[in-house]
Chain A
Amino acid sequence: MSAFAKPLKIALGLAVIAGLIIVPMNFNRYGLFILSQWAVMAIAAMGLNLTLGYAGQVSLAQGAFVGIGAYAAAIMTTHGWPLPVAVVVAIALSFAVGWVLGYPALRVQHHYLAFVTLAFSTLAFLVFRNESWLTGGIYGISNIPRPHILGIATSKPLPFYYVCLGSLAIVSLAVWWLIRSPWGRAFMALRENPLRAQSLGIDTKRYTLMAFAIGSALGGVAGALYAPLTQYIDPVPFNLSLSLDLLMMVIVGGAGFYFGPFLGAMIAVLLPEWLRFTEGYYLMLYAVAVMLLLIWSPTGILGILDRYLAERRTKAASALRAVAKSRLETVQ
């Protein structure tokens, strides 16, 4: 069965990738904007999934890191720096700040940690709003240029969508590598049983800080793409509600599942668009749908799939056992 499942999975994956490249070619400006936004949010959610889903460290600050990345990119590119350089700076900055934010996690966990990161989120928002000499304050930063990649201008929606999609691809591969590496396993050990982890030589302190730093750095990457995507930023999109949105994407998609953030970001970005015809009711419908989902499956959408597959495996295994048993009986 599994020999058949693998080529099927690869074929499905290739079809999705081809679809993401080809189908948007005849999308309008708005459709491309939404899809680019999905790619950017998926990157940020993947970062949070690493911190929260894999390493088990609650964070309500991912939106702040998107903000840090966005401001870094906006300030630098409006001063003539190329975007790739700004991305590197955004990564370094959010990695360093994320590392520092990891320190409280060494002392407090769960809802206490949520409060600490929430306070940080508010602090970051105040800096974006009040330090107008750097961030433009409430007036924000406008005319953020889109980059030239390999000499090609990406100022039109379609080329810039490909920039976002390409970045998502690179981040996805990096995260895939990371979670399969011993580091990823150590992150899961933090979530599953830190006491046991310590006794096995796992430096829980260093891995906790790394989980925060890397997750935050991905938030920074998303921000550095968000700025040229919207070409104008002010503090409002980076307030606490973005952190909550990202948290919801991770949880609805399925925390600790690799594909959770892709799915969660899709639902969070596209569903409000699809529900637009309901006019004022869409947020309410969205909220009710999320509540029902989480009551039904606290582990998110991929949690449902996971349970279904596990059930099927158990059934297959017990069927095998029954066959083996009846053979034994006939032999006797």
Chain B
Amino acid sequence: MNAVLEVTGIKKNFGGISAVDGVSFDVREGEILGLIGPNGCGKSTLFNCILGQLTPSGGEVKLDGKLVTGLRPAELNKLGVSRTFQLLQVFPKLSVRENLILAGQEHQGNMASRLVGRSDAGLTEAANQMIGFFKLDHLADEPAGGLSYGQQKLLDAAMAFMGGPRLVLLDEPAGGVNPSMLADLKDRLVAINREKNATFVVIEHNMEFVMSLCSRVMVMAEGKVLAMGRPDEVRKNPAVIEAYLGH
């Protein structure tokens, strides 16, 4: 299988501390890759380096074999890479539907057509579908800021899918989502992965969620890759048990 994303030797230093210290891995077309590791081991920082939110201190990122290190987040998104955030990032005063239209509009037409064309960029239908898909129907016209934490988390994930991305990096999508909704969320992710052929990288602390969702899991510790493999292999890896799963 082809690698959608190839990350080679990514480093990120903050002053003296080295938050990410030479991380390399591939993400294969169509897979769901889990990323786990203790708090502060550099998972979110790694995402931010891949997505152009932070400039890496070293290393490179390739998308479909093309070098994309140094591209701005908006440019990467245009190439089909989207994300969710660990901390809630929605547009609080806009309605749920407007949030979703906003999330997809830059993938429709060009600057001129977005000025003179349809006010919804032709996305109302797609937004309504996404709303139904994530069971947010009764909240469609509510301002996003008024939703509960878990609901905003779902909206944040839904927004990442509006542009029809090929690769989605999800930073703790299950954090704060209640157990019954969690099962729903997993179903949604699997469905989008299969139907839309979208590739995922998922950071998550909920082991059960990761192990049942992902085809491969990468474990980080102190800015480095500790292990990479199928969930059952990773679970048995002594170094992983020692560093992470043990306590």
Flag whether A180 is at the interface (Cβ < 8 A).
yes
Contact of A181 with B119 in the complex, beta carbons under 8 Å: yes
Flag whether B37 is at the interface (Cβ < 8 A).
no
Nearest A residue to B101 via CB reads: A185
Interface size class of A (residues with CB under 8 A): 20 to 34
Nearest A residue to B119 via CB reads: A180
Complex interface: chain A residues within 8 A of B91 (CB): 188-189, 192-193, 196
CA distance A188 to B92 in the complex (A): 10
Contact of B90 with A183 in the complex, beta carbons under 8 Å: no
CA distance A193 to B156 in the complex (A): 13
CA distance A215 to B66 in the complex (A): 39
The 0/1 profile, CB within 8 Å of B marked 1, for residues 207-224 of chain A is 000000000000000000
Complex interface: chain B residues within 8 A of A195 (CB): 53, 85, 89
Contact of A203 with B74 in the complex, beta carbons under 8 Å: yes
Flag whether B159 is at the interface (Cβ < 8 A).
yes
Q: How far is the CB of B145 from the nearest CB of chain A, in Å?
A: 9
Contact of A182 with B89 in the complex, beta carbons under 8 Å: no
Flag whether A26 is at the interface (Cβ < 8 A).
no
In chain A, residues 182-205, which have Cβ atoms closer than 8 Å to a Cβ of chain B? 182-183, 185-186, 188-189, 192-193, 195-204
Contact of A201 with B163 in the complex, beta carbons under 8 Å: yes
Complex interface: chain A residues within 8 A of B89 (CB): 193, 195-196, 199
Contact of B119 with A200 in the complex, beta carbons under 8 Å: no
CA distance A186 to B119 in the complex (A): 12
Flag whether B222 is at the interface (Cβ < 8 A).
no
CA distance A200 to B157 in the complex (A): 12
Q: How far is the CB of A106 from the nearest CB of chain B, in Å?
A: 12
CA distance A203 to B105 in the complex (A): 12
Complex interface: chain A residues within 8 A of B116 (CB): 181
Nearest A residue to B121 via CB reads: A182
Contact of A186 with B105 in the complex, beta carbons under 8 Å: yes
CA distance A40 to B74 in the complex (A): 38
Candidate in B98, B102, B114, B121 with the most chain A CB atoms within 10 angstroms: B102
Looking at the complex, which one of B53, B92, B98, B163 makes contact with A185 (CB distance below 8 Å)? B98
Given contacts A188-B93, A199-B82, contact A182 B74 (CB under 8 A): no
Complex A-B: 10 CB contacts under 8 Å: A186-B102, A192-B91, A192-B92, A193-B89, A195-B85, A196-B89, A199-B51, A199-B77, A200-B103, A202-B106
- Give 10 closest A-B pairs by Cβ, nearest first: A201-B77, A201-B106, A182-B114, A192-B91, A196-B89, A198-B73, A182-B105, A180-B119, A182-B121, A200-B103
**Partner-B contacts on A (CB < 8 A):** 178, 180-183, 185-186, 188-189, 192-193, 195-204, 206
If A200-B163, A201-B74, A206-B111 are given as contacts, then 12 extra A-B residue pairs at C-beta distance below 8 Å, sorted by A number, are A181-B114, A181-B116, A182-B119, A185-B94, A186-B102, A198-B77, A199-B74, A200-B102, A200-B162, A201-B163, A203-B106, A204-B74
